Amino acid sequence: MPLDAAGGREYYASRLVSNSKQHRKRCVLTLARVAEVLEARAVVAAPSPDPEVTGCFAADLMSDVLAFARPEEVLLTGLATDQAIRTAAVRHLQAVFVVEDKEISAEMVEAARDEGIPLFRTVLSTYEACGRLMQAGLPPSRHDRPSACAKPVASDSPPSL
């Protein structure tokens, strides 16, 4: 199986095929587990019981979040304003994680409480946070194709990246 220009596709495909059952089991994390993986501190606490998270979307442009994020995912963003919370509410996201330990405004906290959106803060960069969530088994948001969790890749064809 040929590798793409970036390399590594063959390994990714074989890993998904050989571990498809195990991979599907790992595709949902609880919000508490996501916060633990990201070493995040709660600014506005999550509800009880602990909600399940089906994926991760990372963006600073809220127009991208509106267009591509899926319900029940978490949002990783460097935008520390109430606009991130309002956007998460419209897309029915499980929580917002502000990266780079950015200061969170009182308006953002108030919006999170009003909308019932858990709000977290992490010292990790967006890149580090996404990498950790991928390692923990949480899939990225896939707006152009089904998630790898939804349908395992056939052994004779690499996934579309």
- How is the chain split into domains, by residue range? 28-135
Q: Which residues have a Cβ under 8 Å from the Cβ of 117 and sit 6 or more positions away?
A: 44, 85, 88, 89, 93, 95, 96, 111
pTM, full prediction: 0.75
Cβ neighbour number for residue 8 with a 10 Å cutoff: 10
Q: What is the pLDDT of residues 51-65, one digit of tens each?
A: 999 999 999 999 999
Report yes or no: 47 and 69 within 8 Å, Cβ to Cβ. no
Q: What is the pLDDT of residues 63-119, one digit of tens each?
A: 999 999 999 999 999 999 999 999 999 999 999 999 999 999 999 999 999 999 999
Q: What homologous superfamily is domain 28-135 in, according to CATH?
A: HprK N-terminal domain-like (3.40.1390.20)
CA–CA gap between residue 159 and residue 161 (Å, rounded): 6
